[in-house]
Amino acid sequence: MDQKEIGKIFYRDGYRLANQHLGDGVTVDKLRSAIKAMYEAVDGLLEAFLQRTGSEGKAAECKKGCAFCCHQPVFAVSHEMLFLKDYIEQEMPADKQTQFIDRSREKSLLTLNKTIEEQQRITHACPFLEHNSCMIYEARPMACRIYLSSSLSSCRKEYDEPGTGRSKPELYEFPLNAGRMLNEGFVSCLKQLGLESAELPLEQGYASLVTLKQDFKSWMG
């Protein structure tokens, strides 16, 4: 089965998962539950994938404390950014929340009104990265979850020469395709339920939600 067919399967899975949680009526609690279920589904898939690649001698070189990829653009859609904001407000002390907001606004000044190609040439730490550790790991968006590299040296080269095209991180195609399509199917169901989504750089999305004081309830209208 090729990647296109695999993508269609995960798209349907994402749509079905959202519909199972929200088809009989959308509430804030159901939205949280649906997003959490989607993340748990992809995490379980990735765990099995990593076990298989490891047994085949092709183990991923991603390790805790390696943060080259945490300095490049990360995009997330509305429900992911709302889930992230919700998590931070529930789990983080006020001073930490203030740090995240300040860092997000600082990075937004670098990325705002720039094309994707221009953003890819910017090396700047994620607002939620501290001492090479993700402070919002449980609520990190899909793009972060499915970014798995088979070559640490390729990630280092991209970090050293961002957006030049001279080096590309050697990423596993299957998790990228599966996670992306799962999320797209999820978004498709949300749209049918009247919840419009936008995709933005993570720092811009989070800063905007905080500034406008938006949450799940206001998104639902």
Question: What phi and psi values does residue 3 have, to the nearest 5 degrees?
Answer: -65, -35
Number of domains in the chain: 1
Percent of the chain with pLDDT over 90: 91
104-144 residue pLDDT tens = 999 999 999 999 999 999 999 999 999 999 999 999 999 99
CA atoms of 85 and 63, how far apart (whole Å) = 25
5-60 residue pLDDT tens = 889 999 999 999 999 999 999 999 999 999 999 999 999 999 999 999 999 988 89
Predicted model pTM: 0.94
Q: How far is CA 165 from CA 18, 55, 121, 187, in A?
A: 37, 32, 10, 31
53-85 residue pLDDT tens = 999 988 899 998 999 999 999 999 999 999 999
